[in-house]
């Protein structure tokens, strides 16, 4: 019994406390987590001007979040454009504003308070156009849409919102980063559900803990929102604070970037 406890403690230190300690050290050395009021939120140029790109577009982005919370977490958002639309539409789920679902509050591919975003999913043309009705329906039907609904931890937060859209649109078939704290929150009160990819299941205890076993999502163990695990399909470690170490995850079934 004591040997089992020591092994469990060793694994917890190795896969949870050590990565978070490294992430905290990097934050202190980096020093870019302060000054959020004046932080750069300009476009990084990942999206072409709509006038030069009439085709439909869908993107999911993720970027390290604001100030000290960036040690632990990333913020995800979704951007889309129907065929021949004159502009992109961006949806975030935030703690400020009259409503938590925020429409076009920032540049579609802008830095998140100084942090450069990564692309989680990309679709273009007919493939993107086919996704849009389901995406718009999922946004319109999202239950946690009232003032005061947002909770940074364990959810519902920005990552819960994007996870709900992905569950409603299984064709997206992408995986949010392990640092997307809140992605496992049971936004529909279902504590056991298939994963968004349909290749496994996710068990969550109110977002405070849980287990994911799936071919696409891999193996993930959630402890107080911090996720550690392993991707079998595209071999990589998933570590709290540090994210994914190994092969890049897919950016969806219709990749343009990476």
Q: pLDDT tens digit string along 29-38?
A: 876 555 667 7
**Domain assignment of residue 51, yes or no:** yes
Residue 236 lies in a domain: yes
Length of the chain measured in residues:
258
In a domain, 2, yes or no: no
pLDDT tens per residue, range 131-165: 999 999 999 999 999 999 999 999 999 999 999 99
Q: Which domain holds residue 29?
A: 9-246
Number of domain units in the chain: 1
Q: How confident is the model at residue 4 (pLDDT cuts 50, 70, 90)?
A: confident
For tokens 């009439």, name the residue.
54
- Asked, for residue 33, whether it belongs to a domain, the answer is yes
Share of residues in the chain with pLDDT > 90 (%): 79
Tell me whether residue 257 is in a domain.
no
Q: What would the mean pLDDT of 205-218 be, rounded to a whole number?
A: 96
Q: What residues does 102 pair with on adjacent strands?
A: 92
| Residues 232 and 214 sit within 8 Å (Cβ to Cβ) | no
The dihedrals phi and psi of 100, each to the nearest 5 degrees, come to -70, -30
The rounded radius of gyration (Å) of the Cα atoms in the chain is 18
Residue 85, both tokens: 């639309």
User: Would you say residue 163 lies in a domain?
Assistant: yes
Distance CA(84)–CA(159), nearest Å, equals 29
The whole-angstrom separation of Cα 178 and Cα 251 is 15
The answer to whether residue 42 is domain-embedded is yes
Looking at the domain assignment, is residue 256 inside a domain? Answer: no
Model confidence at 254: pLDDT above 60: no
Average pLDDT over the chain, rounded to an integer: 91
């Amino acid at each position: 019994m004591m040997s089992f406890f020591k092994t469990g403690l060793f694994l917890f230190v190795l896969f949870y406390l050590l990565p978070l300690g490294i992430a905290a050290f990097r934050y202190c050395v980096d020093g870019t987590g302060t000054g959020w009021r004046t932080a750069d939120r300009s476009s990084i140029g990942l999206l072409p001007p709509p006038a030069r790109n009439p085709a439909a577009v869908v993107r999911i982005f993720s970027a390290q979040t604001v100030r000290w919370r960036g040690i632990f977490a990333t913020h995800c958002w979704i951007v889309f454009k129907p065929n021949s639309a004159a502009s992109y539409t961006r949806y975030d789920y935030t703690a400020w504003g009259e409503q938590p679902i925020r429409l076009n509050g920032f540049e579609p591919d802008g830095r998140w308070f100084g942090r450069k975003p990564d692309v989680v999913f990309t679709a273009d043309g007919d493939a993107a156009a086919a996704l849009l009705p389901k995406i718009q329906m999922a946004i319109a039907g999202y239950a946690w849409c009232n003032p005061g609904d947002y909770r940074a931890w364990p959810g519902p937060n920005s990552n819960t919102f994007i996870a709900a859209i992905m569950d409603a649109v299984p064709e997206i078939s992408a995986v949010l980063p392990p640092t997307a704290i809140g992605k496992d929150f049971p936004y529909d009160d279902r504590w056991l559900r298939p994963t968004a990819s349909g290749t496994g299941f996710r068990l969550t205890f109110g977002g405070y803990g849980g287990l994911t076993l799936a071919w696409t999502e891999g193996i993930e163990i959630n402890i107080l929102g911090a996720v550690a695990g392993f991707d079998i399909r595209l071999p990589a470690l998933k570590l709290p604070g540090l994210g994914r170490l190994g092969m890049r995850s897919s950016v969806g079934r219709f990749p343009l970037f990476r």
